[in-house]
């Protein structure tokens, strides 16, 4: 079986190669613009070609490759591990100063420094070196514009890292309909350029304010270390900084840096989210149900995406799901797939129900189902059109009336008292600011992981709908009650998220992206229930469902569920 990270690693290498190619193209365009000379076009072309095929360009491409591999390493670390849970200001503060973030912030600052040096070296100026021969002194003088740009590059790299990786989660963004790589890149170019030049204004403004206030300190350190004089007007004066115009150069180079990292991010996202076909059964490769089990990792996203595509357009692989094992005659492919799909839906439903209960423990059956098994299936009502492998009456389940009883021991009492006291302590105004739970953070955290849940629901619904014509053994119809029950339970818990009176105030969403994800999830679950109910509308009363579930599906049968 393939290692968990093998698929991701292979795609990451392809993404790096794509990124180096596009970044090289960007550098060539920059050289062509810098060397522009409309009066002497031949000399313009000659100078541009000499720069493009010169040693400096080759060195820059090598540095660019190193930066790309470094960025790929960072993305690998953030995509291959589950999102961390930070629900308080104190936990967010501790996360900022974690060893991984400190290391990555240093590396990103160096990345910004080298990228700024790369772009400034392509320009017709000497702002990529710190020293020059003094005009009025006997010795070497400091080129403060170069120092300004180099420190600015380190700040821009650090700013981007904090803004994109620390203060907001890094998650893979899978498109609803995957297009060709070149087509996606062409569609994204205009947005990348506009966003890069627009987003570069604020960090440049912050850096200029910082340099005006404290720029004399790094300048003094560099001057002392290299024994340099300063003969030009100092840039820590607002008038000198504005006159020099170097802030315009910093803004231009920062815009190019943002265009570069946005291009890298877009290319990585396009390559990493490309659909992949997982085998239904295999002894040497990662199968679909095993990949679905890695639901919090990258392979789980690819598997859920593949399940959705396969259920809609790949009839050959659907037939593999409906086949029986030989010898034995067991629906192993379907059983393995269904188990992993229901696990994803149940776990998400449990989390939503936990939030709807304001963090109080909820009494959920370990199977995540209602007691529909206690009702014997009406086997005499099954027709020839609706096949079912298990037509024999099912035994009534014995209820364990004592399973939810709390053992009132001394240790349990002490634990409850300690938790109550800690809860009251955290409600104090000063303590609550640092240790109190932030508004809607848990719900936003949960919704950022909802994309595989949507695809799993859609994939399950379309496979079930296709089974009416393709499943000649009836392996799917046997599990219809489980599927319908879990989808209805998920739908009912999601409905509470749109009713402010039923959900705790601290879980009411205010983030636009989280609201879109919530609405998309609710719409997807309703669409899946419609797909199954309308497909089996002629036989819906033959399916042994719990009375509550039968009542819940009536609006779908009448097409009145909006």
Model confidence, pTM: 0.76
Residue 384 has pLDDT above 60, yes or no: no
> What is the structure's pLDDT at 405?
46
Looking up tokens 């349990």, which residue turns up? Answer: 412
DSSP string, 70-106: HHHHHHHHHHSSPPP---BHHHHHHHHTSHHHHHHHH
Cβ neighbours of residue 81 closer than 8 Å, sequence gap 6 or more = 297
> What is the structure's pLDDT at 388?
60
Helix axis angle for 451-470 and 298-313, nearest 10°, is 30
Q: Where are the domains of the chain?
A: 1-273, 288-359+434-558
Q: Which of 165-174, 433-442, 450-459 has the highest mean pLDDT?
A: 450-459
Cα angle 23, 27, 33 (rounded to 5 degrees) comes to 145
pLDDT in tens, 182-203: 888 888 888 888 899 999 999 9
> What is the structure's pLDDT at 528?
95
Which of 471, 489, 442 lies closest to 342 in space, CA to CA?
A: 489
SS3 132: strand
Cis omega before residue 44 (within 30°)?
no
pLDDT in tens, 485-543: 999 999 999 988 776 555 555 555 656 777 888 889 999 999 999 999 999 988 888 88
Mean of pLDDT values over 384-407: 48
User: H or E element: which one contains 140?
Assistant: strand 140-142
Spatial distance between the Cα atoms of 281 and 466, rounded to a whole number of angstroms: 20
**What are the percentages of helix, strand and coil residues in the chain, rounded to 5?**
65, 0, 30
> What is the structure's pLDDT at 506?
52
Residue 10 has pLDDT above 70, yes or no: yes
On whether the CB atoms of residues 44 and 36 are closer than 8 A, the answer is: yes
Residue 374 has pLDDT above 50, yes or no: no
- In Å, how far from its chain's centre is CA 460? 23
Phi, psi of 297 (to 5 degrees): -115, 180
DSSP string, 379-393: GGG--SSS--S--SP
> What is the structure's pLDDT at 542?
84
Mean of pLDDT values over 42-68: 77
> What is the structure's pLDDT at 96?
76
Residue 101 has pLDDT above 70, yes or no: yes
Mean pLDDT computed over every residue of the chain? 79
Percentage of the chain with pLDDT > 90? 21
The token duo for 90 is 């104190």
> What is the structure's pLDDT at 295?
76
Cβ neighbours of residue 366 closer than 8 Å, sequence gap 6 or more = none
- In Å, how far from its chain's centre is CA 168? 10
Task: Please indicate whether residue 187 or residue 89 has the higher confidence score (pLDDT).
Answer: 187
> What is the structure's pLDDT at 394?
43
On whether the CB atoms of residues 360 and 472 are closer than 8 A, the answer is: no
> What is the structure's pLDDT at 371?
40
Phi, psi of 519 (to 5 degrees): -65, -40
Spatial distance between the Cα atoms of 7 and 137, rounded to a whole number of angstroms: 61
Residue 398 has pLDDT above 70, yes or no: no
Residue 402 has pLDDT above 70, yes or no: no
Which of 105, 116, 203 lies closest to 161 in space, CA to CA?
A: 105
When mean pLDDT is compared across 141-150, 220-229, 397-406, the lowest value belongs to 397-406
pLDDT in tens, 244-278: 889 998 998 899 888 888 888 888 888 888 888 99
């Amino acid at each position: 079986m393939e290692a968990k990270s093998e698929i991701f690693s292979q795609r990451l290498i392809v993404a790096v190669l794509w990124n180096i190619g596009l970044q090289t193209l960007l550098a060539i365009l920059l050289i062509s613009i810098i060397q522009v000379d409309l009066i002497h076009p031949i000399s313009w072309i000659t100078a541009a070609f000499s720069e493009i095929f010169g040693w400096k360009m080759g060195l820059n491409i090598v540095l660019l490759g190193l930066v790309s591999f470094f960025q790929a390493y960072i993305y690998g670390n953030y995509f291959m591990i589950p999102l961390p849970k930070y629900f308080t200001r104190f936990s967010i503060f501790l996360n900022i100063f974690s060893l991984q973030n400190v290391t990555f912030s240093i590396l990103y600052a160096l990345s910004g420094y080298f990228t700024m040096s790369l772009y400034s070296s392509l320009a017709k100026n000497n702002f990529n070196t710190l020293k020059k021969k003094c005009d009025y002194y006997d010795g070497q003088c400091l080129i403060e514009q170069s120092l300004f740009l180099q420190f600015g590059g380190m700040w821009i790299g650090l700013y981007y890292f904090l803004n994109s990786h620390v203060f907001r989660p890094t998650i893979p963004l899978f498109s609803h309909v995957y297009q060709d790589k070149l087509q996606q890149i062409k569609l994204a170019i205009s947005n990348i350029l506009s966003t890069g030049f627009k987003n570069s204004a604020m960090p440049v403004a912050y850096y200029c304010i910082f340099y005006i206030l404290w720029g004399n300190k790094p300048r003094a350190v560099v001057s002392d270390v290299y024994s340099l004089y300063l003969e030009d007007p100092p840039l820590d004066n607002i008038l000198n900084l504005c006159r020099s115009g170097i802030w315009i150069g910093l803004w231009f180079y920062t815009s190019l840096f943002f265009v570069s990292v946005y291009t890298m991010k877009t290319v990585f996202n396009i390559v990493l989210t490309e659909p992949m076909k997982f085998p239904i059964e295999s002894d040497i490769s990662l199968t679909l149900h095993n990949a679905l089990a890695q639901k919090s990792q990258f392979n789980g996203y690819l598997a859920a995406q593949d399940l959705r595509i396969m259920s809609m357009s790949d009839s050959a692989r659907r037939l593999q799901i409906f086949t029986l094992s030989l010898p034995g005659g067991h629906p192993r492919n379907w059983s393995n797939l269904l188990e992993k799909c229901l696990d994803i839906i149940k776990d998400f439903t449990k989390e939503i129900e936990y939030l709807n209960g304001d963090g109080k423990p909820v009494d959920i059956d370990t199977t995540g189902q209602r007691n529909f098994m206690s009702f014997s299936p009406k086997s005499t009502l099954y027709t020839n059109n609706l096949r079912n492998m298990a037509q024999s009456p099912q035994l009534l389940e014995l209820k364990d009336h004592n399973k939810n009883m709390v053992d009132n021991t001394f240790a349990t009492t002490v634990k409850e008292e300690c938790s109550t006291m800690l809860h009251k302590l955290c409600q104090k105004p000063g303590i609550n600011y640092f240790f109190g739970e932030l508004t809607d953070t848990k719900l936003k955290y949960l919704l950022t992981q909802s994309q595989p849940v949507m695809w799993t629901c859609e994939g399950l619904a379309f496979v079930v709908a296709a089974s009416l014509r393709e499943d000649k053994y009836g392996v799917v119809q046997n599990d219809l009650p489980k599927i319908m029950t879990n989808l209805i339970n998920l739908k009912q818990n999601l409905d509470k998220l749109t009713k402010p009176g039923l959900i705790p105030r601290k879980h009411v969403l205010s983030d636009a992206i989280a609201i879109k994800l919530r609405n998309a999830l609710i719409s997807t679950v309703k669409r899946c229930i419609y797909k199954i109910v309308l497909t089996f509308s002629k036989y819906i009363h033959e399916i042994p469902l719990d009375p509550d579930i039968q009542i819940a599906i009536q609006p779908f049968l009448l097409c009145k569920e909006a």
